[in-house]
Amino acid sequence: PTDEIFISHVILRSPLAFYTTIKAKKLVVDLSAMDDIVTYDNTYYEVNGIEVDKGSQEITIFMKSADPTKPPTPISRKKDGDLVFDRAKQSAMSTISYFIPGIGHSWVHFLFPDAVAATVQNDVPRSSVLYNLLEPHTRYTSRINWDALGVRGN
């Protein structure tokens, strides 16, 4: 079984951390980008967000309502009991397992490397040792990433 501490570790030690904010004494994970994912028939992601209490590591999982006009429903072990909470954790892990590689991982290949490549080309003096070390590694970064997006049909 997945416990709260494991989910907290996944949140803090993966690209999911970049989608996490701190509010009061809680880490808040916004998974609302999943609302835009087109899935197969009868397949859907129910979790809209997760909050982790920084002190106790207790988590609250926000499940999407069947009625899109209603806000997500918070599920916690204390309030809803073990059975309901365990099912919510399963849904949370399913959502996270798609979110990290499907949505959160793109920054590794596109945002960060392109920013470094542009910085090397535009801001680092060409006579510097840093430029000579980085330029061979970043020379084709933007072009490769642009071509990769084209392969995906974007």
At residue 55, the pLDDT reads: 85
Region class of 57: left (phi > 0), else alpha (psi between -120 and 50), else beta: left
Q: Is pLDDT of 137 > 70?
A: yes
At residue 124, the pLDDT reads: 93
What's the farthest any 2 CA atoms get from each other in the chain?
Answer: 64
Question: Could you give the CA distance from residue 59 to residue 106 in angstroms, rounded to a whole number?
Answer: 26
Higher-confidence position of 108 and 136: 136
At residue 13, the pLDDT reads: 82
Handedness of CA 35, 54, 11, 79 (dihedral sign): negative
Is residue 60 within 8 Å of residue 78, measured between CB atoms? no
Question: Could you give the CA distance from residue 70 to residue 117 in angstroms, rounded to a whole number?
Answer: 44
Any idea which residue has 């209603």 for tokens?
70
At residue 106, the pLDDT reads: 67
At residue 154, the pLDDT reads: 43
pTM: 0.67
CB atoms within 10 A of CB 123: 8
Q: Is pLDDT of 1 > 60?
A: no
Listed residue (98, 142, 104, 152) closest to 121, CA to CA: 142
* pLDDT tier at 153, thresholds 50, 70, 90: very low
Helix H or strand E segment including 37: none
Q: Is pLDDT of 56 > 80?
A: yes
| Mean of pLDDT values over 34-47 | 77
Q: Is pLDDT of 58 > 80?
A: yes
